[in-house]
Amino acid sequence: MKNFTLKIQRYDPETEKVYFEEHTVPYAKDLTVLDALNHIKEKTSAEIAYRWACRMGMCGSCGAIVNGKPALMCSTFCRTLKQPISLQPLRNFPVIKDLVVDTDDAMDKFREAMPYTEIQKRHINEKDETLQTPKQLKQLKQASQCIKCMLCYSACPVYGLNKDFIGPAAGALAQRYNKDTRDKIKDKRMDSVTGKNGVYKCSFIGECSEVCPKSVDPAASLQKLKVAGMFHAVKKTARTVIKKHEKNLHEIP
Amino acid sequence: MRYLEQKPGPFWWTRNIRYFIYFVREIAGIMLGLSTLTIIWCLFQSRLMSDQNISMILETITFYSFWIAMGSSIIHSFTWLHAIPRIMPFTLSRTGQKLVYLILLAVWIGLSWLAIVTIFAPISHA
Amino acid sequence: METITGYDILIIGGGAAGLRSAIAAAETDPRLKIVLISKVYPTRSHTVSAEGGVAAAMREYDSVGNHAYDTVKGSDFLADQDAVEFFTERAREEIITLEHWGCPWSREEDGKVAVRAFGGMNVKRTVYAADKTGFYLLHSLFERSLLYENIRRFDEWYVTDLITDDGRATGFHAIHQKDGEQAVFLAKAIIIATGGAGRAYKFTTNSALNTGDGLALAYNAGAALKDMEFVQFHPTALAKTGILITEAARGEGGYLLNKKGERFLKKYLPKKMELGPRDMISRAIMNEIKEGNGFEGHTGPYVHLDIRHLGKKIIDEKLPLIREISINYADTDPVSEPIAVRPAQHYTMGGISTGIDCASTLPGLFAAGESACVSIHGANRLGSNSLAECLVFGAAAGKSAAEYCMSHHAKKPSAPENQVSQIEQEIRKILATEGDESTAIIRNAMQKNMDEHAGITRNREGLTKGLSVIKDLQERSKHVTIKDKSLVFNTALTNLIELKSMLQVCEVLFECAILREESRGAHFRTDFPARDDEKFLKHHLALKSDKGIEIKDREVALTKWEPEERKY
């Protein structure tokens, strides 16, 4: 039962220095990387900066690169990892300090997915719920599991090279709302996600689905959106043509 | 105070096997296009040239371009067929996806063999 | 330091209550400018861990009065009944609204929103979304909030102090974690929705964020805290980590078994058994363990939660998250083995004292959610009432704050100059302190103390000892050295401020607990094991004064139901 060794990448924004620290943590069978990090913070380095909250894999705060792969620290067990365990901040994001990265830009991408069922900004005064069968609910189940942990943005080279790309999680969110039978704004949403830097920038590398801790499969969502976008473009063109034709008819004296 | 910028360098595709396979897929597409253009160009040049030496060089280039095109097209087909199960309008499990992939591969190989036997073989014999 | 004005309402906290109040305020008047400030991104809030469901009188076999009665009885008759009636009248509407906004509630075959049984509820009235209700609810609210342009989010800003002027709350001071910038925000109305203080305990289901920040902010600014002595312990949390195993597991039919394999709750709650109220079940489990009927393990004593008889299909359909959690964190597959569970701290019934309009005792300050105490939960909260409270009172707080703004438009909020400089100085002082204490050591001591002396069973000796430990720790917390002197994501600094908030909350808790010489709901005293309606059918209001904590009494509003014996 050997102790665990963690090699943590530190970054000080004031001195702009990157350096590595090695720490040892006593062995425990169910010790997660987050537990080990908390132990280190309590006993030796009280200043080490990282995000965490729920410690049960639901909030998505504790994403980091663990032994080269993006992972949630609270759901990764030290005993399954090759020693020394290397901890680095998520890639593709600027590092604020130690393991904390700036994910504001990626968080804003969710707006582009228009994640609401309608655009009326009012309190709904309906008496009853809209009916939705369990089978219809199952349609959006997979894409709705996304905890917005940003591991997929860290894995996506397209996002890494072009920060305007809508990204995997936003794509999955758009797909989740498209598949919801209560949604009323699918056309507007399709316009939004198939624009410049939208879903068509995805090169289907598939790494996002590999690292997703909740098996959301954002790559599949993005490809489905591409196909749906095709039909949407055809419908839109058809509508414009028909409208123009009608207009011409009315203009005949 | 400054943030530490983290950008994927030009060799991001060497990081893991899946990135590498993607890169090979894309390179295969490019190589397929380039080699096909090369073959077409060589064909045109050989009509105009009557010189024996240049003709031989063009033949060699065509020969190797053909094999590159063949290899690239196989790699490209394999990798794209692998991606097809993911874009279906319904969700498949991991095993389901593998099964669809194998079926698509079998269909593709079968059709290719049929094409060779019915179209290309008779032509080459003629 | 920048002063940020130009906003009408400031909301501290981005969980269910905070987001719901932001949306409600934005809808009330689209011209209002609203700030939603939180120390984390809203989707990281503790709401995301909630599992069970949202209670409301949804079906024809149920009624608003029924739900209200169950809530009042569950609260051991300490809840303010007019507030409970207000709450139960609006719960269904909130669920329907959320449904229209896209929240994926689980459904019956006919397409209607499904309901399940829950502890302390007489009929099935808990609406749920698989067993990740909080997650779906929070994300639905967050995604809906993106629709309103007048809600401006300030993510990862740490609020350090409230600012008051002329007896009114006018704003707060906050540090931007991303770049260390400090700013003073001023507005006409402030809503606190920062959650409870569960991290004051060692064995808790709560996330790292629940450090009583808002409670301390309000208390230090002069608002009253109510019923702080009531802390809920959830009966079924994983024995080692304290991760929550939802009450829905029992709602769907799970059993609690002791070492002998018997459903021991038949001795304590013969009628309701596993669906009794949380305080009674927690006490029952601790009693079984005390009598030697519990299992012993390296994680401490525990009992078994058995859901094997439900079958794999139901577990995968209705309880998938707890199956995932048990497998990952406890190496147990609930389909084939019982789960090792033990009661853990879960919810803070006490909080900032508010009325039905969510206004606190400090004008301009409102509160909603777990950080508020209206009180609708009284001495013990029923499961699935908390998410419902966040929705109903979140909406109410948003509307109230909006109306307050529109009626007080003449008064421009301002900050007394010396107050702001005092706050700045205090932060500089903390950073410059050269002592030999460590935040982690003090925090561990506090958590151990709370588990021991303010746990499921209490007595005068323990409570007095606990209070003196807290006071000692408060003194020690003034001598912590922080090596990191910058304000950029200085977790050492924010951890220390959180620790001080928790110590403050604990002090109030102990003072109120010592005064309450009876056993009611979750507050059980071995030296006063009976409920005393004559002397203690009242709320305790705690206010900050020069002499320390001043505790006043407030009557409980009894409109319909007279206190009776609480039997299940």
C5-34 burial: b if 16+ Cβ within 10 Å, else e: eebbbbbbbbbbbbbbbbbbbbbbeeebbb
Does pLDDT of C8 surpass 80? Answer: yes
| Spatial contact of C402 and C25, defined as CB atoms under 8 Å apart | yes
Q: What is the mean pLDDT of residues C187-196?
A: 96
Can you state the angle between helices B52-83 and B94-115, rounded to 10 degrees?
A: 150
Asked if B7 reaches chain A (Cβ–Cβ under 8 Å), the answer is: yes
Q: How many CB atoms lie within 10 A of CB B91?
A: 17
Beta carbons within 8 Å of B103's beta carbon, 6+ residues apart: none
Q: What is the ipTM, given to two decimal places?
A: 0.96
Question: Model's pTM, two decimal places?
Answer: 0.94
Residue C131 pLDDT: 86
Residue C398 pLDDT: 97
Beta carbons within 8 Å of A244's beta carbon, 6+ residues apart: none
Q: What is the pLDDT along chain B (126 residues), one digit of tens a residue?
A: 889 999 898 899 999 999 999 999 999 999 999 999 998 888 887 777 777 777 788 888 888 999 999 999 899 888 888 888 877 767 777 788 888 888 998 999 899 889 888 887 777 776
Chain B CB contacts of A94 under 8 Å are: 3-6
Distances (CA, A) of C12 to A230, C94, C219, C400: 43, 22, 15, 16
Interface test with A, best of C51, C127, C175, C491 (most A CBs within 10 A): C491
Chain C CB contacts of B1 under 8 Å are: 179-180, 486, 488
C145-171 burial: b if 16+ Cβ within 10 Å, else e: bbbbebbebbbbbbbbbbbbbeebbbb
CB-based contact A220 B5, cutoff 8 Å? no
Chain B CB contacts of C486 under 8 Å are: 1
CB-based contact C96 A47, cutoff 8 Å? no
Long-range contacts of residues C420-424, Cβ cutoff 8 Å, at least 24 apart: C420/C1, C420/C163, C420/C173, C420/C184, C423/C160, C423/C161, C423/C163, C423/C173, C424/C1, C424/C173, C424/C182
- Per-residue model confidence as pLDDT tens digits over C153-184: 999 999 999 999 999 999 999 999 999 999 99
Closest chain B CA to residue A143: B91
Residue C308 sits in a domain whose CATH number is 3.90.700.10
Query: Do C239 and C340 share a domain, yes or no?
Result: yes
Categorize the per-residue pLDDT at C410 as very low, low, confident or very high, splitting at 50, 70 and 90.
low
Query: Do C384 and C261 share a domain, yes or no?
Result: no
Name chain A's partners: 3 or more CB pairs within 8 A. Answer: B, C
Query: Do C491 and C396 share a domain, yes or no?
Result: no
Nearest by CB to A223, which of B1, B2, B87? B87
Q: How many structural domains are present in chain C?
A: 3
Closest to C55 in 3D by CA, of C386, C356, C376 = C386
Asked if B1 reaches chain C (Cβ–Cβ under 8 Å), the answer is: yes
Closest CA–CA distance from residue A83 to any residue of chain C (Å): 21
Does pLDDT of A251 surpass 90? Answer: no
Domain boundary assignment for chain A: 3-101, 104-120+129-240
Both tokens of residue B50? 């009557």
Pick the catalytic residue from C90, C250, C377, C523. C250
Query: Do C365 and C292 share a domain, yes or no?
Result: no
Q: Please tell me the total number of residues recorded for chain C in this structure.
A: 568
Query: Do C334 and C355 share a domain, yes or no?
Result: no
- Per-residue model confidence as pLDDT tens digits over C252-294: 999 999 999 999 999 999 998 899 999 999 999 999 999 999 9
Query: Do C180 and C324 share a domain, yes or no?
Result: no
Query: Do C330 and C354 share a domain, yes or no?
Result: no
Categorize the per-residue pLDDT at C405 as very low, low, confident or very high, splitting at 50, 70 and 90.
very high
Residue C561 lies in a domain: no
Does pLDDT of A253 surpass 70? Answer: no
Asked if A203 reaches chain B (Cβ–Cβ under 8 Å), the answer is: yes
Residue A125 pLDDT: 79
Does pLDDT of A146 surpass 70? Answer: yes
Closest chain B CA to residue A9: B4
- Per-residue model confidence as pLDDT tens digits over A39-70: 999 999 999 999 999 999 999 999 999 999 99
Residue C562 lies in a domain: no
CB-based contact A53 C110, cutoff 8 Å? no
Asked if C316 reaches chain B (Cβ–Cβ under 8 Å), the answer is: no
Residue C243 pLDDT: 95
d(CA A136, CA A131): 10
Query: Do C88 and C214 share a domain, yes or no?
Result: yes
Residue A153 pLDDT: 97
Query: Do C255 and C391 share a domain, yes or no?
Result: no
CB-based contact A56 C49, cutoff 8 Å? yes
CB-based contact A94 B18, cutoff 8 Å? no
Categorize the per-residue pLDDT at A99 as very low, low, confident or very high, splitting at 50, 70 and 90.
very high
Asked if B16 reaches chain A (Cβ–Cβ under 8 Å), the answer is: yes
CATH superfamily of A3-101: Beta-grasp domain (3.10.20.30)
Query: Do C100 and C172 share a domain, yes or no?
Result: yes
Nearest by CB to C27, which of A53, A121, A182? A121
| Spatial contact of A190 and A232, defined as CB atoms under 8 Å apart | yes
CB-based contact A173 C136, cutoff 8 Å? no
Q: How many CB atoms lie within 10 A of CB C548?
A: 10
Chain A CB contacts of C437 under 8 Å are: none
Closest CA–CA distance from residue A198 to any residue of chain C (Å): 19
Asked if B123 reaches chain C (Cβ–Cβ under 8 Å), the answer is: no
- C346 assigned to active site: no
Largest CA distance in chain B: 77
Closest CA–CA distance from residue B10 to any residue of chain C (Å): 29
Closest chain A CA to residue B89: A224
Chain B CB contacts of C179 under 8 Å are: 1
- Per-residue model confidence as pLDDT tens digits over A166-205: 999 999 999 999 999 999 999 999 999 999 999 999 999 9
3-state secondary structure at position A113:
coil
- Per-residue model confidence as pLDDT tens digits over C346-402: 999 999 999 999 999 999 999 999 999 999 999 999 999 999 999 999 999 999 999
Q: Mean pLDDT over all residues of chain A? A: 94
Residue C119 lies in a domain: no
Residue C568 lies in a domain: no
Q: What percent of chain A has pLDDT over 70?
A: 99
- Per-residue model confidence as pLDDT tens digits over C491-526: 999 999 999 999 999 999 999 999 999 999 999 999
Residue C423 sits in a domain whose CATH number is 1.20.58.100
Chain B CB contacts of C488 under 8 Å are: 1
Does pLDDT of C299 surpass 90? Answer: no
Q: What is the mean pLDDT of residues C320-347?
A: 93
CB-based contact B18 A68, cutoff 8 Å? no
Query: Do C225 and C238 share a domain, yes or no?
Result: no
**What is the dihedral angle through the alpha carbons of C276, C279, C285, C286, rounded to the nearest 10 degrees?**
-160
CB-based contact A129 C136, cutoff 8 Å? no
Percent helix / strand / coil, chain B, rounded to 5: 80, 0, 15
- C309 assigned to active site: no
Nearest by CB to A95, which of B4, B8, B26? B4
Q: How far is CA C352 from the centre of its chain?
A: 11
d(CA A67, CA A101): 17
Closest CA–CA distance from residue C485 to any residue of chain B (Å): 13
Name chain C's partners: 3 or more CB pairs within 8 A. Answer: A, B
Does pLDDT of C476 surpass 90? Answer: yes
Residue C379 sits in a domain whose CATH number is 3.50.50.60
Beta carbons within 8 Å of C511's beta carbon, 6+ residues apart: C467, C542, C549, C551
Closest CA–CA distance from residue A149 to any residue of chain C (Å): 9
Query: Do C430 and C446 share a domain, yes or no?
Result: yes
CATH of A104-120+129-240, one of 3.30.300.30, 1.10.1060.10, 1.10.1200.10, 1.10.274.10: 1.10.1060.10
| Spatial contact of C481 and A45, defined as CB atoms under 8 Å apart | no
Both tokens of residue A141? 């189940």
Chain A CB contacts of C495 under 8 Å are: 46
Pick the catalytic residue from C46, C153, C173, C234. C234
Chain B CB contacts of A155 under 8 Å are: none
At C274, which helix (H) or strand (E)? Answer: none
Both tokens of residue A3? 């102790």
Asked if B84 reaches chain A (Cβ–Cβ under 8 Å), the answer is: no
Closest chain C CA to residue A46: C492
Nearest by CB to B19, which of A204, A207, A220? A207
Closest CA–CA distance from residue B101 to any residue of chain C (Å): 28
Which of C304, C320, C346 is at the close of a domain? C346
Q: Counting one residue from A and one from B, how many pairs have CB atoms under 8 Å apart?
A: 68
Range of the domain at C185: 2-104+125-230+347-406
- Per-residue model confidence as pLDDT tens digits over C415-446: 898 999 999 999 999 999 999 999 999 999 99
Q: How many CB atoms lie within 10 A of CB C317?
A: 15
Does pLDDT of A139 surpass 80? Answer: yes
Closest to C463 in 3D by CA, of C532, C416, C528 = C528
Residue B56 pLDDT: 83
Q: What is the mean pLDDT of residues C322-347?
A: 94
Which of C406, C426, C449 is at the close of a domain? C406
